[in-house]
Homo-oligomer: A and B are copies of this chain.
Amino acid sequence: MAENKKQGKQSNIRAKSQEKILDAAQQEFILQGFKGATVQSIADRAGLPKANILYYFKNKENLYHAVLEQTLNMWDEGIGDIVIEDGPKIAIEKFIAAKVKMSFTYPSASKMHAMEVIQGAPHLKEFARTYLRQWVREKAKLFQHWVDNGEMKDIDPVSLIILIFSSTQHYADFEAQILTIMNRAEYEPEDIEQVTQFLTDIILRGCGLKK
């Protein structure tokens, strides 16, 4: 609130410009890679002169980091949360539903992240790595608890989480390939429901949580 007092039209302009730039940059980085995306191409896509981009972000490296950070925050928010009270069935359902929705709603975030990881995650700080590891361990502990409690089959929780990651993200990252296979031009809203249904069905049964 106190901050908003200070924000006049200018801060608004700043925020608007930055957002426009970040969006354009994300597209270019995905399409061309870090080196392949030129400041000029980002500028063109954002409809701004090149020097303006460099005015808001000191340099290309800086801009890339900003895009990546935005992406990771989005991933973090969209992943949903599961708690011990859920039990394995609800937990898996929630988890899959959240990740599929993410994949179809913000495919660019997933693609950006995927490219970074494939290239060996050169820009992901140690912090991000440790955070992910902690996250997975924490959730794995929940599943292990349910396994020990006889609420689900004896399945390796970490492998299960990786399976859910991979099968859901794939629809974002490999969009081009899936559309090719299906001989379609783009996804339809119904696809979210269909994919969620399919994956939930197979994986729940795979975990012995459905006959």
Contact = CB atoms under 8 A, between A and B. Distances in A.
Interface of A: 30-36, 111, 114-115, 117-121, 129, 132-133, 136, 155-156, 158-160, 162-163, 165-167, 169-170, 173-174, 176-178, 180-183, 195, 198-199, 201-203, 205-208
A163 to B, nearest CB: 5
Contacts of A34: 33, 36
A139 to B, nearest CB: 11
Instruction: State the main secondary structure of chain A at its contact with B.
Output: helix
Interface centre among A117, A155, A183 (most CB of B within 10 A): A117
Contact of A177 (B32, B132, B155): B132
16 contacts: A30-B118, A30-B119, A32-B119, A36-B36, A114-B174, A133-B183, A155-B198, A158-B181, A162-B181, A163-B198, A166-B170, A166-B174, A167-B167, A202-B206, A202-B207, A205-B207
A16 B129 CA distance: 39
A50 to B, nearest CB: 18
Contact of A203 (B173, B195, B198, B202): B202
Nearest to A119: B31
Given A202-B203, A205-B208, 12 more contacts: A30-B119, A35-B35, A111-B118, A114-B114, A114-B174, A115-B115, A115-B118, A121-B180, A132-B180, A165-B170, A166-B167, A201-B206
Contact of A205 (B120, B121, B173, B205): B205
A119 B188 CA distance: 20
